[in-house]
Amino acid sequence: MRLALKVDVRTVRGALVGVPRLAELFRRYGAGASFFLCPGPDRSGRAIRSTLRPDVLRLAGAGSLRSNYGLAQLLYGTLLPSPAIGRRCAAVLREVRAAGFEFGVQAWDAVAWHARAATADAAWTLDQMRRAREGYERLFGERPAAHAAPDWQMNIDALRLTQRLGFDYASDCRGTHPFVPVHRAEIVACPQIPTTLPTLDELIVQDGATLDTLHERLLALTADAGEFGHVFTLRAELDGIVLAPIVERLLDGWAGQGYRLSSLREVAGDLAQDALPRHEMTGGEVAGRSGALALQGAEFLPLSFVTGGAFQ
């Protein structure tokens, strides 16, 4: 059984503090993981509610935003200039990558992507994804092999660009298993490996959730690995700092359930793209998160339909 760990990195504090803490936790449990970086500006001050989730901090008993993130972090992009995450945090990120962890890329500017991606035009989308790729190349000296959309916000042009920009795979949506995406009968030849499990910040705002039992809710969902295993997404600035003790309980629980904790790259390496099912990419809501997200939709022309004599 395999459970892949995916970590979103979109703030300076998340990169400098959360990433190394999570990497150390993963190392202790022999776990692989994939870190997806926004190399552009940290504009957390413009998106406190969507990025730093003060409601989650309150429910976690973690105190105020200022005590957890510091005044400077909360003013980035407003009263203070927005530091480039890839440049400011380069030493830490390169060290974690050198330790064997996979890195992929998100958008250039996470706040702008969250606000505009769903309705953006092709030119804006291409600019964001190209700048993200170039920022990654400046940081690591090679092109990124994987893409993950911030907050699972996508549009058709971004979907097409996962193929055009040469990504080996993407993790842009929520779903149940790997697939080749289809939009209105248009096949995009870049496989998707969707997040299958709810995130900690989604669970903690649901009725009846407590810090003491949060890990138990997730472990109940992973008691059955199914045919494809699971993908779990973490936020470096939240799960790597405030909720790190819960992450440790989860790693211990998953080890007890018999999972091999891996990177998404390992999952992608085992995929036979020609044999993957094709599914529509749709949009919809997920409990505990506001707005519409990219979702894995219905299967498009199932292989059993095509090979079962329907066209003979």
Q: Which residue has the tokens 């920022």?
A: 135
- Please indicate, yes or no, if residue 196 is contained in any of the structural domains: no
| Complete DSSP assignment for the chain | -EEEEEEEE-SHHIIIIIHHHHHHHHHHTT---EEEE--SB--GGG-IIIII-HHHHHHTT---HHHHHHHHHHHBTTTB---BHHHHTHHHHHHHHHTT-EEEE--S-HHHHHHHGGG--HHHHHHHHHHHHHHHHHHHSS--SEE--GGG---HHHHHHHHHTT-SEE--SB-SS-BEEEETTEE-SS-B--B-S--HHHHHTSTT--TTTHHHHHHHHTS--TTT-EEEEEEHHHHTTTTHHHHHHHHHHHHHTTPEEE-HHHHHHT--GGGS-EEEEEEEEETTEEEEEEEEEEESS-HHHHHTTTT-
pLDDT tens-digit map of 271-280: 988 899 999 9
- What CATH number is given to the structural domain containing 74? 3.20.20.370
Range of the structural domain that residue 77 is part of: 2-172+211-275
User: Is residue 310 very low, low, confident or very high in pLDDT (cuts 50, 70, 90)?
Assistant: very low
pLDDT tens-digit map of 277-297: 999 999 999 998 888 999 999
pLDDT tens-digit map of 129-166: 999 999 999 999 999 999 999 999 999 999 999 999 99
- Please indicate, yes or no, if residue 206 is contained in any of the structural domains: no
The model carries a pTM of: 0.89
The yes-or-no verdict on residue 28 having pLDDT over 90 is yes
- Please indicate, yes or no, if residue 189 is contained in any of the structural domains: no
- Please indicate, yes or no, if residue 124 is contained in any of the structural domains: yes
pLDDT of residue 309: 41
What are the two backbone dihedrals, phi and then psi, of residue 84, each rounded to the nearest 5 degrees?
-75, 120
- Please indicate, yes or no, if residue 188 is contained in any of the structural domains: no
The sign of the dihedral angle between the CA atoms of 288, 291, 296, 299 is positive
pLDDT of residue 48: 54
- Please indicate, yes or no, if residue 115 is contained in any of the structural domains: yes
pLDDT of residue 40: 95
CB-CB contact of 178 with 193 (8 Å) = yes
- Please indicate, yes or no, if residue 183 is contained in any of the structural domains: no
User: Is residue 242 very low, low, confident or very high in pLDDT (cuts 50, 70, 90)?
Assistant: confident
- Please indicate, yes or no, if residue 72 is contained in any of the structural domains: yes
pLDDT tens-digit map of 163-192: 999 999 999 999 999 999 999 999 999 999
pLDDT tens-digit map of 195-231: 999 999 899 888 777 888 889 999 999 999 988 999 9
Number of structural domains in the chain: 1
pLDDT tens-digit map of 79-129: 556 788 999 999 999 999 999 999 999 999 998 998 899 999 999 999 999
Which residues are within 8 A (CB) of 35 and not within 5 positions of it... i.e. 6 or more apart?
Answer: 7, 9, 19, 93, 96, 97, 101, 102, 103, 104, 236
The residue-averaged pLDDT of 54-58 equals 56
The yes-or-no verdict on residue 45 having pLDDT over 80 is no
The residue-averaged pLDDT of 74-79 equals 54
